[in-house]
Structure 1
Amino acid sequence: MFIVLTLLGALGLFVINTDKISGHVKENIPISVYFKRDADPETVKAFGEKLKDAEYIKDYAYVTKEEAAANNRDIMGDYENLLDSNPLSDSYDLHLKGNYVQADSIKKIEVAFRSNPEVSDVTYDVLMVEMANENIKRISFWILIISGVLAFISMLLINSSLRLSIYSHRFIIKTMQMVGATKSFIRRPFIWRGIKLGLIGSLCAIAALLWFIYYLDQKFPVLNIWEDWVPNAIVFAGVLLFGIVIAAISTFFATQRFLNLRTDDLY
């Protein structure tokens, strides 16, 4: 039960953090806004102030044409000896929030940027945006399918394990029934034992998941999984409830099966 619940909980953590993981991927797609070479410095500065207040901006950085030339020195070489002036222009490098990295949303933002008369060009990798969204949808779909299959398999494994446990006590069950014990009286200790096993397995699984979250947070601090406790608590509660309920139900039906068998069928 511990192994099955740990695997199921780990998959649950992945599913519940899918938006955060996909958002992190999308938010790493850069957009560059270039200004005309003769753009008014005050207009360029005002554009940056608007970016600061925009709800769709994750972060941005102002890049002067001198900084752009220094960053591309390996490509441009010593342009001062060939050209009269720096051919590059001032620009803003920015990243959008994950929710806005969609084909329609990013197009509207591009149109808004281009409406500024001082902006000469807006560039971003259109193919990367499309591929990111398509792959995320495809991965999310298969994760849901795998989650459903694994949940079903988990129920079968836990049910089979508890049925084997009850099977080893089938003669005790039948003996108690023969001396006049009621079915509910016979079932009660077995169900409580199943609930205890489910509780212990769930708590051990939660402890393993806590370590797993801590490990992931150390490896990928940008995801901030550890501090986002609400979805984690939902997964832990689901693991605890799933373990207890499945154990109780499986024990009930397994005990009931042997209570309904004839003595000859026990052999």
Structure 2
Amino acid sequence: MSSSFDKFQKRRLISSYFSVVLSVFLVLFLLGILGLFIINSQKLANDFKEKIAMTVFFKNEANDSILKSFGQQLKVAPYSKSIVFVSKEAAAKQHTDIIGEDFLTFLGENPLQNSYDIHLKADYVEKDSIAKVEKQLRTNPMISDIVYDKQLVNMVNDNIKKVSMWILIISGFLTFIAVLLINSSLRLSIHSNRFIIKTMQMVGATKAFIRKPFVMRSVKLGMLGAALAILALLGVLAYVETSFPDLGILNDKFLIAVVLLAVLGFGILITWLSTYFATQRFLNLRTDDLY
């Protein structure tokens, strides 16, 4: 009979430990994902901005030397991320591939123009900045027109501001939920030992002495949950880096290390505080209140 009861108690204890580790792991993993997203959100936004192209068309009078000289100027321009020269012949071929027939056969000549596709640096993909770049380029008498999607530029910048605001709100909300979940799991774990706590107190043990083993156990469980969360986060980082190498998500190793250390520190801190206050609550209760 005693053996069966001991086994039951042991299974309940293991189940309690497992639930604490699982809740810590899940919460810290989600917070870690959010932290990694926040530090890479600007990089993602910049990457999207730099995919917006500004196309500069040249007059037919512009010869090869003029086109080449303009390309050299773009390479050293502070606003230029990358440039691609598209000759009128290459543009005609692209149009032919798109419409499925050679329009030159019935036009008799190529009406398209030589052009440069300019991908601006993210800082210049703003309404005012991109307008200044356009104004500067139009001073070149050989340029016939400059085309880019103004509405897309405005929409991207507006949406980035909105997303940034919501990220801050969601971060605060998830952090609050994380504290509540971990605190609830640990309080349930301490609650099952409330009679042991009160018995130790009745035989003369100090509050610090009673709290210490519970706090140490919870901190160890918190460290285990945090370690599992860190391993899962490293797995996610490796997957994203392999699937989307252009993002360069592993380039900023310092900030990634800060997020991972913050996950570990948060796991230790919240388990320590939750256990401290949970044990303190039962230590301050009267014996009759334990029931």
Please tell me the TM-score bracket, short chain as reference: over 0.9
Corresponding residue number in structure 1 for 2:4: none
In the TM superposition, residue 216 of structure 1 has moved relative to its aligned partner by 1.4
Corresponding residue number in structure 1 for 2:16: none
Residue among 62, 75, 81 paired with 1:39: 62
RMSD across aligned positions (CA): 1.4
Corresponding residue number in structure 2 for 1:154: 178
Residue among 8, 13, 25 paired with 1:2: 25
In the TM superposition, residue 81 of structure 1 has moved relative to its aligned partner by 4.3
Give the Cα separation in 2 of the matches to 1:126 and 1:36.
23
Corresponding residue number in structure 1 for 2:104: 79
2:217 is aligned with what amino acid? R
Corresponding residue number in structure 2 for 1:202: 226
- Contact 1:80–1:86 at 8 Å: present in 2 too? no
1:27 aligns with 2:50: yes
1:215 aligns with 2:239: yes
Secondary structure of the residue aligned to 1:17 is helix
Structure 2: 5+ residue stretches without partners: 1-23
2:212 is aligned with what amino acid? R
Corresponding residue number in structure 2 for 1:18: 41
TM-score, L = length of structure 2: 0.88
Corresponding residue number in structure 1 for 2:93: 70
- Contact 1:27–1:97 at 8 Å: present in 2 too? yes
Give the 4+ runs in structure 1 shifted more than 6 A.
Answer: none
- Contact 1:37–1:88 at 8 Å: present in 2 too? no
Alignment of 1:73-112 (within 5 A): 73=96, 74-75=98-99, 77-83=102-108, 85-112=109-136
Structure 1: 5+ residue stretches without partners: none
Secondary structure of the residue aligned to 1:227 is coil
Give the Cα separation in 1 of the matches to 2:102 and 2:162.
44
1:182 aligns with 2:206: yes
In the TM superposition, residue 228 of structure 1 has moved relative to its aligned partner by 2.8
In the TM superposition, residue 139 of structure 1 has moved relative to its aligned partner by 1.5
In the TM superposition, residue 80 of structure 1 has moved relative to its aligned partner by 4.8
In the TM superposition, residue 77 of structure 1 has moved relative to its aligned partner by 3.1
2:25 is aligned with what amino acid? F
Q: Aligned residues: percent identity? A: 55
- Contact 1:13–1:232 at 8 Å: present in 2 too? yes
Q: Which moved more, 1:71-80 or 1:250-259?
A: 71-80
Corresponding residue number in structure 1 for 2:251: 227
Give the Cα separation in 1 of the matches to 2:32 and 2:105.
60
